Amino acid sequence: MRYLVYIIYSVSLDRFYIGYTGGNIDARLRKHNANHKGFTGKKSGWVVTYIEEFETKEDAMKREKEIKGWKSKVKIQKLISTG
């Protein structure tokens, strides 16, 4: 199984969301765009802007935590532009 770290972006919120999944990225994006109680449920219109693939869940979780730890929109935008 492959694991993906992904970054999605909302134009209306001008915000990024970083996550990981072991499933289908399209199905995961549909969940983010559905009305739910989580952060991404506030608005629809999220689009995938970046994906990294990993062989293990542990590696994907480590990378997700690393990117979230940056807390820098500029650094995330740089990652997306070079990816």
Residue 24 has pLDDT above 90, yes or no: yes
Would you list the DSSP string of 10-68?
ETTTTEEEEEEESS-HHHHHHHHHS--SSGGGG----EEEEEEEESSHHHHHHHHHHHH
Number of domains in the chain: 1
pLDDT of residue 12: 92
Model confidence pLDDT, tens digit, residues 34-83: 988 888 998 889 999 999 999 999 999 999 999 999 999 999 999 999 97
Task: Give the pTM.
Answer: 0.93
Amino acid 46: pLDDT: 97
Is the predicted pLDDT of residue 32 greater than 80, yes or no? yes
Distance CA 52, CA 80 (A): 10
Rounded distance between C-alpha atoms, residue 10 and residue 43, angstroms: 8
**Mean pLDDT (whole number) for 23-40:** 92
We report the CATH number of the domain holding residue 64 as 3.40.1440.10
> Tell me, what's the pLDDT at 37?
87
Domain containing 77: what range? 3-82
